[in-house]
Structure 1
Amino acid sequence: MPNEAVLYSYTTIHPNPKTGESPFSLGYADFQGELRVFGKLDLGPDERPEVGMALRLEPQADTQSGPEYLLVPTKV
């Protein structure tokens, strides 16, 4: 599977302030061919998601709900 993808679509989640969680973004990324994955966008504090941005996929272990994938922007 290729590791380079393009952001197809995203949404930003704003948890209830009572939880103490910061907002985070989830997105769909398209890989070459017909593969599309859903994962959490791993953005820096000053980065904003943008449709069409280059991403790479980084699998992360998550003991509560199985594997989780981070979509990390590729620095050009």
Structure 2
Amino acid sequence: MSGKKALVEYSSPNIAKRFSVGHLRSTIIGQALFNLYKHSGAEVTNDNHLGDWGTQFGMIIAAVEEKKLDVSKDECYRFGRSCM
């Protein structure tokens, strides 16, 4: 693989939802692929960005403000899912 280029993107979880085992699995597989490419001589870049910052949080904040709710973190998770 010497001279080849590769980009490995990891789980990129949606931060408006709970992190799951599926995200962890994807991250482990991504890191393993990154290590294999790097060990084989490829020029490899990895990325694990957090996705969906905007719309989901905007919807959650707007709904909480509109309904004038005073919610805890756990309540916000449950409420946020029902709004999406």
Q: Does TM-score exceed 0.5, indicating one fold?
A: no
Point out the structure with the larger strand share.
1
Q: Per residue, is there more helix in 1 or in 2?
A: 2
TM-score by length of 1: 0.23
TM-score of the two chains, using structure 2 as the length reference: 0.21
Greater RCO, CA 8 A, separation 6+ = 2
